[in-house]
Amino acid sequence: MSTVTATTDSTGTPPATTSRPAYRVTTRGVLRSEWAKLWSLRSTWITLGLGLLFLVAFGLIAATRYRSGYASGTLNRDFASSTGLELSLFGTNFAQLALGVLGVLITAGEYSTGMIRSTLAAVPRRLPVLWSKAALYGLVVLVVGTAGAFVAFQIGSGILSGTPAAMSLSHAGVVRSLFGAGLYLGLVGVIGAALGMLLRSVAGGISVLVATLMLIPGLVTLLPSSWQNDISPYLPGNAGQAMYALTHDATTLSPGAGLWVFLGWTALALVGAAYRLVRTDV
C-alpha cells in the first residue's frame, strides 16, 4: 500500500503555484524579431553593398563614357541624347537584380533551412510575418536606393559638368526622379520578398523575378507594334522605369501612372503570398 504525502509550509498551507505569464504576439515584437533576423544574415550586408555599388558604379561609368566621347568627338549615338539624370541612374537596372534577389532570399531562405517552422510557431497567425518581412526590407532598400541615387547623381554631375548632358538638383523633375528611383527599388525588394514567400523556392523566386523585370519586356517587343503599345507600358519593369523617368511620350506612362501600376503589381504579389501562407501547411 502506498501513501501520498502532501508538502506544506510551516503554517500548514500548501505552497502557491507559480503561473507562467501569458505569451502575447504583438506587431512590435514581430517587427523586432524580423529586424534582428534581417541583419544577422551575412548575405544582407553583402547584397545590399552590391546593390549600392551597382547603382553608383554603373552610373559613374556611363557618365565617364559620355564625357570621354563628348571630349573626343566620338560620342555614341545611343548616348548623344542622354541627360545627366539618365546617365547617373544607368545602374538602376543592375541594382534591382541584387536587391530583388535578396528579398527572395529573406523569405524563401527560411523555407530552405526549415527555420520557417520556428517562425510560424512563434507567430501562429502567420500574416504578420509576411507584412513585417516585406515592410522592413522594403524600407531598408528604399533608404539605400534613394541614398545611392543621390550620390550617383551628385558625382555624375561633376563628371558631366560643361557637357550638354550636365544637370543639377535645381532642374525641374530631378529630385522627384531620384526619389522615384529609390521608391522603385524599395518596391522591387517587396516584390522579391513576396515571390519568395509565394514560391518557397530561392531558385524559383529569382527566376520569376528576373523574367518579370527583364525578360518579358524583351519578349513583348516581338509582338506586333499595335500590341506592344497596349501591353508594354503596363509591364512591371516598364511601369517602374516610368516612376523615375524625367520625360515620357505616348508609348510610356507618366510617373504618377507608372507608380500606381507598379503598386498594383506589388499588391498582387503580396496577395498571392498571403493567400498561400494562410491556406497551406509549412
Q: What is the pLDDT of residues 194-245, one digit of tens each?
A: 999 999 999 999 999 999 998 888 888 888 877 888 888 899 999 999 999 9
pLDDT greater than 90 at residue 105? yes
- In a 13 Å sphere around the CA of 58, the CA atoms on its Cβ side amount to 16
Query: What pLDDT, in 10s, does the model give residues 137-160?
Result: 999 999 999 999 999 999 999 998
Is 1 domain-assigned? no
pLDDT, residue 4, reads 46
Q: Note whether residue 17 is domain-resident.
A: no
User: What's the distance, CA 168 to chain centroid?
Assistant: 27
| Gap between the Cα atoms of 61 and 75, Å rounded | 14
Please report the pLDDT score of residue 3 as a whole number: 46
Q: What is the pLDDT of residue 11?
A: 55
Counting residues of the chain whose pLDDT is more than 90, the rounded percentage is 54
Interval 116-135 mean pLDDT: 88
- Half-sphere exposure of residue 162: CA atoms within 13 angstroms, side-chain side: 7
Q: What's residue 97's pLDDT?
A: 94
Distance CA 168, CA 257 (A): 25
**For residue 154, what pLDDT is reported?**
94
pLDDT in tens, 12-63: 555 555 555 555 778 888 888 888 988 988 889 999 999 999 999 999 999 9
Q: Is the pLDDT of residue 187 over 70?
A: yes
pLDDT for res 166? 87
Confirm whether 75 is domain-assigned: no
The domain tally of the chain equals: 1
Tell me the residue range of the domain where 51 lies. 27-55+88-154+165-279
pLDDT at 5: 45
Q: What pLDDT does 122 receive?
A: 85
Specify if 246 maps to a domain.
Answer: yes
Q: Residue 18 domain-assigned?
A: no
More confident residue, 74 or 184: 184
96 within a domain of the structure (yes/no): yes
What proportion of the chain, given as a percentage, has pLDDT over 70? 91
What pLDDT was estimated at residue 228?
Answer: 81
CA–CA separation, 50 and 25 (whole Å): 35
Say if 49 falls within a structural domain: yes
From residue 122, alpha-carbon distances to 30, 133, 154, 180 in Å are: 9, 15, 45, 36
Amino acid 165: pLDDT:
86
- The answer to whether residue 258 sits within a structural domain is yes
Angle at 207 between CA 147 and CA 51, to 5 degrees: 15
pLDDT of residue 1: 41
